[in-house]
Amino acid sequence: MNETPRNKILFVDDESPFLDSIRRVLKNKSDIWEIDCVERGVDALLATVRTDYDVIVTDITMPGMSGFELLSRLREADRTRDTPVIVLTGNAEHNLKREALDLGATDLLTKPVHPADLISRLRSALRIKECQDHIKEHNRTLELKVQERTAELEASRLEIIWRLAKAAEFRDEETGNHVIRVGCYCRILSEKMNMPRDFTETLFLASPLHDIGKIGIPDSILLKPQDLTPEERRVMEKHCEYGAEILLGRPHGLMIYSGRQDPDRMTAGLSDHNPVIEMAARIALHHHERWDGTGYPHRIKNTGIPISARIVSLADVYDALSSKRPYKDALEPDQAFRIICEGSGTQFDPEICRTFEENIDEIRSVQEELSG
């Protein structure tokens, strides 16, 4: 049969006779209370490291570490921050009583201590400790539930993102795992460029949505095996703005660019503070811009193009070159690699190209694993 654990109480006082009297007074409570006694504040701190006390009772005036210093140290430590502390004071020590309360004392007990008062105050402090423990346990349970629910919501959100990305991908007949590979390439490039971890993870989630705007392109253009006419090309290029519109839920007319050195203005403040959707919208809008400024839809150049879109641009083109599409056969990986390298400084950011070249083996490993 399991026994109910005894409450642990620590007394701190430099007077041995006082501590002896405490032991005698509380001897008949030994079945429910476990009493420890120390004569120095430093010993009390050491004791709290070894044992979780339910109540601590300390005198104020002690040599070495005073009761006030002990109380302050107890309140600073995570282990004892909420432990009830009863401070022993003399009748004339009114100022000390106020200071003790200011430092976080739970209760005050005046010397000489009457046994009935001591037991009553200890019981009260133990009830406080019991309530605190109950609240902490309740909060821990709630926190776990919140974490579980948050994880479920995050998983659902990621599921929606991937399904949305695949919806656009299915418009092309032979793209396979294109959006998944692009996401993996982007994560490799971002990590090797020492981008912040949050940025890298957000890029990994957002990049598969780069072509979501193709949902708005007619099949007659999207799946046309021959070269597009100039008019058809202009319609195809609209997929960038369509993508931003789909992701932001706002008319793409709001994103018309007026200040050509500040591309963020087109999407700033329109994402409802969702970092993945915000980045995905920027990528969708800008992933066909070129380093030399000859891309579309806004002919932004160099670092005026968001870094996320610059990374996706290279990853997307490399995988597109290596993949079969309705209008072309897949190139050999070495040929696709050379085309990317030749585009450094014109189509692609030179730094991203260098990172791509230095890590092509890892990228090809992912490409082979996710082929099909």
Q: Which two tokens stand for residue 21?
A: 């009297």
Is residue 103 within 8 A of residue 68, CB to CB? The reply is: yes
Helix (H) or strand (E) holding 157: helix 115-169
Two tokens at 364?
A: 């090809």
Of 74, 56, 67, 59, nearest to 10 by C-alpha is: 56
Whether 214 sits among the annotated catalytic residues: the reply is yes
SS3 13: coil
For 107, the 3-state DSSP assignment is strand
Q: How far apart are CA 82 and CA 136, in angstroms?
A: 10
8, 29, 166, 214: which is the annotated catalytic residue?
A: 214
Rounded to 5 degrees, φ, ψ at 246 are: -60, -45
Strand partners, 57: 11, 86
- The helix (run of H) or strand (run of E) holding residue 284 is helix 275-286
Q: Which residues are catalytic?
A: 214
